[in-house]
Each structure stands twice: as C-alpha cells, then as structure tokens.
Amino acid sequence: MASTLADINSQIQKNEEHIAQLRKQAEELRNHERAGVIEEVRKKIAEYGLTASDLKLAAGGRGGASSKRSVSAAPAKAAAKYRSESGETWSGGRGRKPRWVTEALAAGKSLTDYEIK
C-alpha cells in the first residue's frame, strides 16, 4: 500500500495512462466492428433493394461519426380539422393559430363554420 502522497499520485498517473490506453484500444475495436457492420448492412440493402425512405433515413448526406443522432421517423402531421374559404387548412392543434383563423374569429365567425365534415 502506498504510504505517501507522492506514491498515491504516481499510482493515479499510471492508472490514468492505463485507462487512456484501454480507451484507445476500445475505440479501435469499435471502429473495426463498425466497418464489418456497415458492410453487412450494405449487403442487406442491396439484397432487399431497400431505399433511404424504406429505412426512414433523411435524404442527402451522412451524419458522420461524430453525429450521434437516433434514427426515428418524423412525427406525423395532424389531420386537418378546419378549412378556410381559400382552401387553407389547420389541425386545431397547440400553438399559434393561423392568420386566417384569428381574422375569422375577430370578424365574429366561429370555428364550427370552418370544420371539415
């Protein structure tokens, strides 16, 4: 067991160097495995004729290794519940009302006048 502060600091330094080496090894292994996974995925894409839209991936460009985005579908747009006389629609959802709705309400109209049936 270390008996002085200098001995303890020396052990900490050695351990930190060892940790750095292990992290570098882990990163190299991950990159090697990643290359294999990418090759497998490319083969499956070719085999099944998959497209970016099939996989719900954004078109155009890669995120890169530093990009840690999760791949998920964009939230579905809510169905329109109201339609203006000019054909504009609104789902009635949260947030700011469209101008045509606020103008209609200010003019004394009701949302029920614009409901899509």
Reported as a single tens digit per residue, the pLDDT across 20-56 is 999 999 999 999 999 999 999 999 898 888 888 888 8
| pTM for this entry | 0.37
Question: H or E stretch including 43?
Answer: helix 5-48
Reported as a single tens digit per residue, the pLDDT across 53-76 is 888 887 555 554 444 555 666 677
Nearest CA to 27 among 63, 65, 54, 56? 65
Q: Which two tokens stand for residue 70?
A: 């999760």
Cβ within 8 Å of residue 78, ≥6 positions away: 91, 92, 93
Helix and strand numbers, DSSP H then E, in the chain = 2, 2
